[in-house]
Amino acid sequence: MTLLTAHKILITTAVVFFFGFALWEARNYFAGESLWALLRSLIYFLVSVGFGVYLRSLRRWLK
């Protein structure tokens, strides 16, 4: 396994993790918790999108 392959795996894992955590926090918000849960959900979603954009740009850059 090359270092690049390991990097792609880690970034993909981060995208999935942060997206899942965003859904978890959104569920907490709709279950009646505070507005902070919605804010955390949005932040985690943006981080997930950021990692996704980075992963796509990495794939394009290496081709």
Query: Where are the extended beta strands (E) located within 1-63?
Result: none
> Residue 34's domain spans which residues?
3-62
Number of domains in the chain: 1
Predicted TM-score of the model (pTM): 0.84
With vertex at residue 63, the alpha carbon angle to CA 58 and CA 55, rounded to the nearest 5 degrees, is 15
Q: What tens digit of pLDDT does each residue of 2-45 get?
A: 888 889 999 999 999 999 999 999 999 999 878 999 999 999 99
